[in-house]
């Protein structure tokens, strides 16, 4: 039997506003309103008709506060996926679809907004969600350090070569350099920039880490049937899974030894593939949340694209780029090279890629995996497609 | 929440008294960490706190070079280790004495002593690990 989520809702419009960190010309809520209106404009949809909102990562913009500026007639659904990091990003689409399919809302915006002048540094906010005296007492006060400890073990215990992350970073910059909306647009990336960048928390250097931007992103979801009557080609949600399997979570680093060096997605990926009837071989392009590059490697392993043992055969620059790679990732540049508004650029690129509007088009792409924030206690992934 | 209020309050009390105390399920004897009220494996409630020696092996580590807010008192760089406490399967985060910046090896044996970390106005007891002699 087809899963109820399969192809029954769709993204009808997207809006993205991105600025340098600290450089937004407008306060956070104003930028968010602009992104939502832009998503509606694309779809030919009246913003006043939006009746639901979903976010993730402790977004500060309670949807009811958006109503006066959007002219909302009625708010019927507002919720967020739990968790301070980007783990819930893909799950937000499942939550929005649940509202639509159960008749509790009819037009739901999935959003994330971040303007430093309004809500402070995102990395500090993410860590504040998790901080406790066990962490404070050992100086573990940032997501970078928490992810670094797991990256060390990826290399030193599982034997994945350290320079594998360079392939992923190079592919991100290759795509970003050709995307006019990306922070790295027009730049040439030399891998020496990564190798020579300053140490943050070993093994991470600055260029192993995503770096925050100001901005907001919004995606308008409606039923698949309704989306077909709107202005742009629908991008369907085929499936979505969020959560954690036993042995993974907020466990003071006491995750199951077999799960410790993962992004937390093994159970999520199993469920996602089972519910969509798809396999890793059916995925044409991946938007891969990389808070840190080593976590991106773990995420690709979790989602079944490779193993610890053969990771170097798959995670190669030539294989990760849109022009000819079998596993194109982050075709707008991703969190590293497009920009980082807590990952919201990734689903937006998934939609653009599947509509054929990407700066780095993947020929004939039908499916796109959105792999959410790796290493978060609650994680999520989703699959989108331009045909059911 | 102060250290006196959580399920792990006896752990913090133990460190204040110079001892490493860890919890074991009253029903099935499993070591439980993070500290908890109920054992999800056997369904019992209640744990007993047992003293463990401060000997462990390195599970993983990082050396921090960036001045993150909240860790100012540790100076730069400083090394954090995740250790496997001997014979109980519980992993604890701790600080490593690392004056010569020698990269820890996974599985390397360590011995601990109790020190303190200043975090803002708070002085938090913690285990500082050294390479076993």
Structure tokens at A78: 């507002």
* CA dihedral sign of residues A5, A9, A10, A11: negative
- Residue (of A232, A260, A182, A174) closest to A45 by Cα position: A232
* H/E segment holding residue B13: helix B9-16
Cβ distance B91 to A199 less than 8 Å, yes or no, reads no
Cβ distance A138 to B126 less than 8 Å, yes or no, reads yes
Please report, to the nearest 10 degrees, the dihedral formed by the alpha carbons of residues A291, A293, A297, A298 taken in order: -40
Cβ-based burial of B101 (10 A; exposed 0-12, middle 13-18, buried ≥19): exposed
Cβ distance B70 to A141 less than 8 Å, yes or no, reads yes
Per the domain annotation, does A71 fall within a domain? yes
Q: What is the CA angle A345-A97-A1, rounded to 5?
A: 120
Q: Are residues B127 and B100 in the same domain?
A: yes
First to last CA, chain A: 15
Alpha carbon separation from B85 to A377, B13, B19, B33 (Å, rounded)? 23, 18, 13, 12
Please report, to the nearest 10 degrees, the dihedral formed by the alpha carbons of residues A97, A247, A146, A136 taken in order: 110
Per the domain annotation, does A148 fall within a domain? no
Q: Are residues B58 and B113 in the same domain?
A: yes
Residues 220-259 of A with CB under 8 A from B: 251-254
Nearest Cβ partner for A149 among B3, B82, B126: B82
What is the rounded CA–CA span in Å between residue A42 and residue A33?
A: 14
Collapsing DSSP to helix, strand or coil, A243 comes out as strand
Domain containing A339 equals 9-121+208-385
Domain containing B3 equals 1-52
Q: Are residues B58 and B48 in the same domain?
A: no
Q: Is B82 within 8 Å of chain A by CB?
A: yes
Q: Are residues B23 and B62 in the same domain?
A: no
Where chain A has pLDDT below 70, the residues are: none
| Nearest chain A Cα distance for residue B131, angstroms | 17
Buried b vs exposed e over A101-129: b needs ≥16 C-beta within 10 Å? eeeebbbbbbbbbbbbebbebbbebbbeb
Q: Is A158 within 8 Å of chain B by CB?
A: no
pLDDT at residue B1 greater than cutoff 70 = no
Residue in A124, A125, A134, A139 to test binding to B, most B beta-carbons within 10 Å:
A139
Q: Are residues B83 and B128 in the same domain?
A: yes
State the total domains in chain B. Answer: 2
Per the domain annotation, does A311 fall within a domain? yes
Q: Are residues B34 and B82 in the same domain?
A: no
Cβ distance A141 to B69 less than 8 Å, yes or no, reads yes
Q: Are residues B6 and B48 in the same domain?
A: yes
Q: Is B119 within 8 Å of chain A by CB?
A: yes
Q: Are residues B130 and B74 in the same domain?
A: yes
Q: Match 């071989």 to its residue by tokens.
A: A281
Nearest Cβ partner for B62 among A134, A135, A201: A201
Task: Give tens-digit pLDDT for B50-108.
Answer: 999 999 999 999 999 999 999 999 999 999 999 999 999 999 999 999 999 999 999 99
Nearest Cβ partner for A138 among B8, B93, B106: B93
A280 backbone dihedrals φ, ψ, rounded to 5°:
-55, -30
What is the Cα gyration radius of chain B? 16
A50, A72 Cβ separation under 8 angstroms:
yes
What is the rounded CA–CA span in Å between residue A226 and residue A86?
A: 29
Buried b vs exposed e over A257-275: b needs ≥16 C-beta within 10 Å? eebbbbbbbbbbbebbbeb
Task: Give tens-digit pLDDT for A52-96.
Answer: 999 999 999 999 999 999 999 999 999 999 999 999 999 999 999
Cβ-based burial of A220 (10 A; exposed 0-12, middle 13-18, buried ≥19): buried
Cβ-based burial of A18 (10 A; exposed 0-12, middle 13-18, buried ≥19): buried
Q: Are residues B81 and B30 in the same domain?
A: no
Q: Are residues B43 and B75 in the same domain?
A: no
* CA dihedral sign of residues A332, A335, A337, A339: positive
Cβ distance A145 to B68 less than 8 Å, yes or no, reads yes
A372, A90 Cβ separation under 8 angstroms:
yes
Percent of chain B with pLDDT over 70: 98
Residue in A137, A153, A155, A259 to test binding to B, most B beta-carbons within 10 Å:
A137
Chain A residues in contact with B66 by the CB 8 A cut-off are 142, 144, 198-201
Q: Match 């030894």 to its residue by tokens.
A: A257
A239, A279 Cβ separation under 8 angstroms:
no
Task: Give tens-digit pLDDT for A146-199.
Answer: 999 999 999 999 999 999 999 999 999 999 999 999 999 999 999 999 999 999
Provide the number of CB pairs (under 8 Å) joining chain A to chain B: 104
- Residue (of A374, A377, A83) closest to A210 by Cα position: A374
Nearest Cβ partner for B69 among A124, A138, A156: A124
B115 - beta bridge partners? B126
Q: Are residues B57 and B115 in the same domain?
A: yes
Q: Is B80 within 8 Å of chain A by CB?
A: yes
Per the domain annotation, does A145 fall within a domain? no
Per the domain annotation, does A114 fall within a domain? yes
Q: Is B31 within 8 Å of chain A by CB?
A: no
Cβ distance A135 to B3 less than 8 Å, yes or no, reads no
Helix ranges (H only) for chain A are 28-43, 67-70, 91-101, 116-119, 122-130, 133-136, 143-156, 164-176, 191-196, 224-227, 257-260, 266-276, 293-302, 311-314, 317-320, 334-337, 345-354
Per the domain annotation, does A358 fall within a domain? yes
Q: Is B101 within 8 Å of chain A by CB?
A: no
What is the rounded CA–CA span in Å between residue A248 and residue A370?
A: 20
CATH of the domain at A108: 3.40.47.10
Q: Are residues B102 and B81 in the same domain?
A: yes
Helices A143-156 and A122-130 sit at what angle, rounded to 10 degrees?
80
Cβ distance A140 to B119 less than 8 Å, yes or no, reads no
State the total domains in chain A. Answer: 1
Residue in A123, A138, A140, A151 to test binding to B, most B beta-carbons within 10 Å:
A138
Chain A residues in contact with B70 by the CB 8 A cut-off are 131, 136, 139, 141
pLDDT at residue B132 greater than cutoff 90 = no
pLDDT at residue B133 greater than cutoff 90 = no
B105, B58 Cβ separation under 8 angstroms:
yes
Chain A residues in contact with B91 by the CB 8 A cut-off are 252-254
């Amino acid at each position: 039997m087809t899963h109820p989520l399969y192809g029954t809702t769709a993204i009808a419009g997207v809006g993205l506003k991105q600025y340098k960190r600290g450089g937004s010309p407008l306060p956070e809520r104003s930028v968010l309103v602009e992104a939502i209106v832009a998503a509606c404009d694309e779809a030919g949809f009246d913003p006043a008709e939006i009746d639901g909102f979903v976010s993730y990562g402790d977004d500060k913009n309670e949807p009811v506060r958006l109503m006066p500026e959007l002219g909302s007639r009625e708010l019927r659904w507002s919720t967020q996926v739990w968790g301070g990091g980007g783990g819930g990003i893909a799950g937000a689409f499942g939550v929005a679809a649940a509202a639509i399919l159960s008749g509790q809302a009819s037009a739901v915006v999935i959003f994330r907004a971040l303007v430093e002048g309004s809500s402070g540094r995102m990395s500090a906010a993410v860590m504040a969600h998790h901080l406790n005296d066990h962490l404070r007492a050992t100086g573990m006060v940032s997501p970078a350090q928490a992810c670094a400890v797991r990256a060390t073990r990826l290399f030193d215990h599982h034997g994945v070569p350290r320079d594998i992350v360079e392939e992923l970073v190079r592919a991100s910059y290759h795509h970003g350099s050709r995307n006019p909306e990306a922070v790295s647009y027009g730049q040439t990336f030399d891998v020496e920039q990564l190798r020579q960048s300053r140490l943050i928390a070993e093994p991470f250097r600055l260029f192993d880490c995503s770096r925050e931007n100001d901005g907001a992103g919004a995606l308008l979801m409606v039923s698949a049937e309704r989306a077909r009557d709107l202005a742009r080609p629908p991008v369907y949600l085929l499936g979505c899974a969020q959560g954690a399997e036993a042995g993974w979570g907020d466990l003071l680093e006491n995750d199951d030894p077999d799960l410790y060096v993962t992004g937390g997605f093994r159970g999520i990926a199993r469920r996602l593939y089972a519910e969509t009837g798809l396999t890793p071989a059916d995925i044409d392009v991946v938007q891969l949340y990389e808070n840190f590059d080593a976590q991106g490697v773990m995420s690709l392993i979790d989602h079944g694209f490779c193993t610890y043992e053969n990771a170097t055969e798959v995670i190669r620059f030539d294989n990760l780029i849109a022009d000819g790679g079998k596993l194109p990732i982050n075709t707008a540049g991703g969190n590293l090279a497009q920009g980082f508004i807590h990952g919201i650029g990734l689903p937006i690129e998934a939609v653009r890629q599947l509509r054929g509007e990407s700066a780095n088009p993947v020929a004939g792409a039908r499916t796109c995996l959105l792999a959410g924030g790796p290493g978060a206690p609650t994680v999520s992934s989703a699959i989108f497609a331009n045909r059911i | 929440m102060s250290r006196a209020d959580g399920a792990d309050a006896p752990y913090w009390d133990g460190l204040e008294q110079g001892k490493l105390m860890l919890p074991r399920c009253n029903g099935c004897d499993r070591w439980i960490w993070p500290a908890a009220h109920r054992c999800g494996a056997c369904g019992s409630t209640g744990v007993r706190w047992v003293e463990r020696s401060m000997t462990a092996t390195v599970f993983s580590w990082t050396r921090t070079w960036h001045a993150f807010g909240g860790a100012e008192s540790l100076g730069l760089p400083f090394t954090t280790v995740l250790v496997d406490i001997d014979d109980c399967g519980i992993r604890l985060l701790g600080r490593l004495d690392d004056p010569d910046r020698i990269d820890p090896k996974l599985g390397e044996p360590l011995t601990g002593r109790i020190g303190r970390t200043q975090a803002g106005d708070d002085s938090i007891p913690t285990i500082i690990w050294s390479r076993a002699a």
